[in-house]
């Protein structure tokens, strides 16, 4: 009997893949993989036909309806089909749409969780998302809105959270900071930005909402915007971002 596995590829580093995910990739007949999945992770599918179905903001992307149809069709001809998604399939991964398509066609499926980027970034920073007496709740949100979708309440969610992590927010950092400040969030609220979490070229930036509103960073890789008192900079050896010398409240760390 055929089965489709929605597999979390983790935040980037191939060695953060779960053992179950690695086993399924080795057994897969077909693998549909996202743009942000590391090539070494895709390479674990040694016997599979590998099909890129990535989505990247501002770039040509694979239509979700095509992916849904492709999964259904592949399951009709192959025993093990893997849909390999960056991070965890059930967080900002459009997994529910694919699950609905599989259910409608009577195809068996299983979700294999992965390490989401917020957890990898927190581990790399050595800063807990929660902290006794400082942060008792955490919110994961995104300001990104697809075509035809209604506005979300991400602003209220982030405002009310002790710690907030924004996914898919790298292109609108300045606007996000200004919106939160206008909503009533203090400009001195600490901010951390982690680009390419878990990878060798990971970079970390520390600032405040006020600093971010004046000097949004230019980032090339996927990045998380992390907001809350847990990110107050205490390390005096942080170095200035070279391109942002005129804004001394932005600090950078490269991965050690």
Residues involved in catalysis: 34, 55
Q: Which residues pair with 191 in a beta bridge?
A: 207, 227
Three-state SS at 133: coil
Say how many CA atoms lie within 13 Å of 234 toward its Cβ: 7
Report how far residue 7's alpha carbon sits from residue 33's, in angstroms, rounded to the nearest whole number: 10
The two structure tokens encoding residue 249: 């409240």
The two structure tokens encoding residue 215: 């000097």
∠ CA 14-116-178 to the nearest 5 degrees?
125
Report how far residue 178's alpha carbon sits from residue 256's, in angstroms, rounded to the nearest whole number: 32
Measured in whole angstroms, how far is the alpha carbon of residue 77 from the centre of its chain? 32
Helix/strand/coil percent split, the chain, to 5: 30, 25, 45
Report how far residue 40's alpha carbon sits from residue 168's, in angstroms, rounded to the nearest whole number: 23
Report how far residue 229's alpha carbon sits from residue 58's, in angstroms, rounded to the nearest whole number: 32
| CA quadruple 83, 88, 93, 96: dihedral sign | positive
Asked if 36 contacts 222 with a C-beta cutoff of 8 angstroms, the reply is: yes
């Amino acid at each position: 009997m055929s089965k489709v596995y929605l597999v979390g590829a983790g935040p980037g580093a191939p060695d953060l893949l779960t053992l179950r995910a690695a086993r399924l990739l080795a057994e897969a007949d077909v693998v549909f993989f996202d743009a942000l999945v590391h090539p070494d992770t895709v390479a674990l599918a040694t016997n599979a036909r590998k099909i890129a179905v990535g989505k990247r903001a501002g770039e040509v992307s694979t239509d979700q309806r095509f992916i849904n149809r492709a999964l259904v069709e592949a399951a009709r001809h192959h025993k093990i089909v893997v849909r390999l998604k960056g991070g965890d399939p059930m967080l900002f991964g459009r997994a529910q749409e694919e699950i609905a398509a599989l259910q409608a066609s009577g195809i068996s499926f299983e979700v294999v969780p992965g390490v989401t980027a917020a957890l990898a970034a927190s581990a790399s920073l050595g800063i807990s998302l929660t902290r006794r007496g400082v942060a008792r709740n955490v919110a994961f949100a995104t300001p990104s809105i697809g075509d035809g979708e209604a506005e979300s309440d991400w602003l209220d969610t982030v405002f009310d959270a002790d710690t907030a992590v924004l996914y898919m927010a790298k292109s609108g950092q300045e606007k996000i900071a200004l919106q939160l400040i206008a909503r009533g969030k203090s400009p001195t609220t600490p901010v951390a930005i982690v680009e390419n979490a878990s990878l060798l070229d990971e970079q970390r930036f520390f600032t405040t909402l006020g600093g971010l509103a004046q000097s949004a960073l230019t980032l090339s890789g996927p990045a998380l915007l992390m907001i809350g008192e847990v990110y107050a900079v205490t390390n005096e050896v942080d170095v200035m971002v070279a391109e942002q010398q005129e804004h001394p409240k932005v600090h950078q760390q490269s991965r050690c």
